[in-house]
Amino acid sequence: MKRERKIYDPAFKTKAIQLSNERTNISELARELGIAVTLLYKWRKEYEEFGEGNFLGNGNLKLTPEQEKSTNWRKSSRMQS
């Protein structure tokens, strides 16, 4: 049986990150929010690296300039093949 993937809006993610920075027990906060603690840590890491604009939706991450170059290079290499 396939589990349905939950989608969280950017406002929820941002608020969860803010709350996690204010609280000492992140596991308890994750339970209160109904999310996995690993997901909360992932969101915090992404927020630290990219800021609030990272939460674009549908699993699309904001890329650093180096990552964009690498991705564009791989795409152009595939098209030439």
Mean pLDDT of 26-40: 96
The span from the CA of 44 to the CA of 53, in Å, is: 13
**Nearest 10 degrees: Cα torsion 29, 40, 10, 47:** 120
Domains in the chain: ranges and CATH: 10-80 (1.10.10)
Q: What is the pTM of this model?
A: 0.65
Which is nearest to 44 in space by CA: 2, 15, 7, 8?
Answer: 15
Contacts of 44 (CB under 8 A, 6+ apart): 17, 20, 21
What is the C-alpha to C-alpha distance for residues 19 and 81, in angstroms, rounded to an integer?
48
- pLDDT (0 to 100) of residue 7: 87
**What's the confidence (pLDDT) of residue 5?**
81
Question: Average pLDDT in the 19-39 region?
Answer: 96
- Whether pLDDT at 26 is above 60: yes
pLDDT score, position 55: 72
